Amino acid sequence: MRLTDYFLPVLKETPAEATIASHQFMLRAGMIKQDSAGIYIWLPLGLKVLRKIENIVREEQNRAGAIEMLMPTIQSAGHWKETGRYDAYGPEMLRITDRGDRELLYGPTNEDMITDMFRSYVKSYKDLPKCLYHIQWKFRDERRPRFGVMRGREFLMKDAYTFDVDKEAAVKSYNRQFIAYLNTYERLGLKAVPMRADTGPIGGDLSHEFLILADTGESEVFCHKDLVDMAAPGDVSDGDMQAVVDSRTSLYAATDEMHDADEFAKVPADKQLSARGIEVGHIFYFGEKYSEPMKASVQTADGKSANIHMGSYGVGVSRLVGGIIEASHDENGIIWPKAVAPFDVGIINLKSGDAEADAACETLYSQLKAAGLDPLYDDRDDRGGQKFARMDLIGLPYQIVIGPRGLKEGKYEVKDRKTGEKQSLTPEETLTFITAQF
C-alpha cells in the first residue's frame, strides 16, 4: 500500500479523553474513531489488526474441532424469557421493540439462542459431542465504557458453545477449549495466564479467565511465576488433555475476587507474583443451566432422556487489539507482534520526488510484494522526522529507510521496531533479510 493512496488519519496530539497507552495510540495511529460512548468506527489500519486477530482465533478454534457458524446480532426476547435471563440481565442489555411491538434485544451473548437452535435439531447422544462457535458483535450497555476498545459497549467476541451427553464428556470439551486458548494467545504474541474464576450463582468449579499481565489492567491478579513462562502446548491428544490442563491449574492463579491469601502464601516467596491483568477470555462449564429450563435433551445410549451438558467460551477479539498494545509499546508508539501487525514492513522514502530515491523505493516495494509480504510505502512529501515518528507510532515490525545519503553508498537502513537495532544493508541484503523474518 502506498501511503498517498491509503486512509491513515494520524493525529499529532494525544486526545484528552484517552488515559491509557493503547487508547491513546489507537486514536493517534488512526486505527479507531469514537462515534459515541463505547462505540467505535474501525478505520482501515485498525480493521486490519482486528481481522488478523480474528483469523488466528478462528484457525485455533477450527484446529480444536469447533465448527464456525453465524448467529444474528438482534435476538428475540423469547429465548431469554424461557431461561429467565430476560429479567435477570439488567440494564446492560439493550432492549428494542420493532414496529409490531415485538420485544427484541441486541445480543450481549448467545447461550439462550444457540440452545434453542440446537434442541430443535439434535435429539440423540449419537450427534454429540459438538462445539459450535461464531465471531460476532455484541452489545452491552456498560455503566462505564472506557479505555477505548478495552471496555466498549459494542465489541467483537468469539463465543463457542459445547454440547455433551454428560459431565465427563463436557469436561473433555472444556479442556479442549482451554488448550485452544493457550495456543491462541501464544500465536498472538501474548502471555495469557488461566485463572480460577467465579462461577456465580450456578456453582461448580469449572471456570477460568485468561488474563494478560499489564499495569493498566482492571483486575488485580495473583499467580505462580512459572505460569507466565510456560510455553503453549500445541496439539494435544485426547489422552493428554487433562494432564496439560492440570499442569496449569495446579499452580496458583486467581483474580482478586477468587484470591485466597492463605493458599497463595504456600507458593514459594520467590515465585509469588502479584500484578494487574486484562481479561481476554473466559471459559465456563455450566452443565444444565440452559438445557434444563429449555428442555434441551437427548436420548442416551440406554434409551433414557438426559439434559445436554453445555459450556461457553468467550474471547474478547476487539479487546485484544488494545490488550496487545498494552503489552507491547514504548513511548513512541505501538510495537506489533509480527502475527497481527497491520503491515509487515514500512518503507520510508526520505526524498520523495527525487528520481533515484523514488526508483529505489518503487523497486523494493514491488519486490517485497512479489515475495508475498504486505509493505506500507511512505511516499508522502513530508519531512523525515515526521515520517520516522509516524512509522514508530503505527508500530510495523520493520522499517526500511531510503535516502540520498545512503544511496550514494548503495545502502538502505533497516530498523527493527522492537529492539531499535539498525543495520546498513545493500538492496539485495535488505530483501533477503526482511523476507527471512516472515
Q: Is 141 in the site for ligand ATP (CB under 6 A)?
A: no
* Options 92-100, 115-123, 281-289, 421-429: segment touching Mg ion (CB under 5 A): 281-289
Beta strand pairing call for 329-330 and 333-334: antiparallel
Q: Which of 279, 288, 378, 379 binds ligand ATP (CB under 6 A)?
A: 279
All three cell numbers of 126 = 449419537
Query: Under rule CB under 6 A, which residues in 74-133 are in contact with ligand ATP?
Result: 109
Beta strand pairing call for 103-106 and 94-97: antiparallel
Angle between helices 44-63 and 167-187 (to 10 degrees): 140
| CA dist., res. 227 & res. 249, Å (int) | 9
Residues in the interface with ligand ATP (CB under 6 A) total 15
Q: Which residue is nearest to ligand ATP (CB)?
A: 316
Q: Which does 152 bind (CB under 5 to 8 A by kind): ligand ATP, Mg ion, none?
A: ligand ATP
All three cell numbers of 33 = 474513531
Task: List Cα–Cα distances, 285 to 202, 312, 342, 394, in angstroms.
Answer: 10, 7, 35, 39
Among 195, 182, 163, residue whose Cα is nearest residue 286: 163
- Kind and range of the H or E run holding 193: strand 192-196
Q: Is 316 in the site for ligand ATP (CB under 6 A)?
A: yes
Q: Is 208 in the site for ligand ATP (CB under 6 A)?
A: no
Least separation in angstroms between CB 273 and ligand ATP: 21
Angle between helices 317-327 and 44-63 (to 10 degrees): 110
Helix (H, G, I), strand (E, B) or coil at 236: coil
Structural contact between residues 22 and 124, judged by C-beta atoms closer than 8 angstroms: no
Q: Which of 319, 329, 387, 415 binds ligand ATP (CB under 6 A)?
A: 319
* Options 2-10, 92-100, 124-132, 277-285: segment touching Mg ion (CB under 5 A): 277-285
With 0-12 / 13-18 / 19 or more C-beta atoms within 10 angstroms meaning exposed / middle / buried, residue 295 is exposed
Residue 226-265 contact track with ligand ATP, rule CB under 6 A, x = bound: ----------------------------------------
Q: Which does 155 bind (CB under 5 to 8 A by kind): ligand ATP, Mg ion, none?
A: ligand ATP
Query: Under rule CB under 6 A, which residues in 173-202 are in contact with ligand ATP?
Result: none
CB atoms near residue 45 (< 10 Å) = 23
DSSP 230: P
Torsion of CA 426, 431, 433, 434, to 10 degrees: 130
Q: Is 158 in the site for Mg ion (CB under 5 A)?
A: no
Among 152, 231, 235, 159, residue whose Cα is nearest residue 190: 231
Helices (H), 158-269: 167-187, 225-229, 241-249, 261-265
* Options 77-85, 221-229, 274-282, 341-349: segment touching Mg ion (CB under 5 A): 274-282
Least separation in angstroms between CB 309 and ligand ATP: 19
Q: Which does 52 bind (CB under 5 to 8 A by kind): ligand ATP, Mg ion, none?
A: none
Q: Which residue has the cell 515520517?
A: 387
* Options 49-57, 279-287, 361-369, 409-417: segment touching ligand ATP (CB under 6 A): 279-287
Q: Which of 30, 148, 233, 281 binds ligand ATP (CB under 6 A)?
A: 281
Q: Is 282 in the site for Mg ion (CB under 5 A)?
A: yes
Q: Which of 48, 52, 79, 140 binds ligand ATP (CB under 6 A)?
A: 140
Query: Under rule CB under 6 A, which residues in 143-162 are in contact with ligand ATP?
Result: 151-152, 155, 157
Write down the number of H helices and E strands in the chain.
Answer: 15, 23
Q: Which does 350 bind (CB under 5 to 8 A by kind): Mg ion, ligand ATP, none?
A: none
Residues that bind Mg ion (CB under 5 A): 282
Residues that bind ligand ATP (CB under 6 A): 109, 140, 142, 151-152, 155, 157, 279-282, 314, 316, 318-319
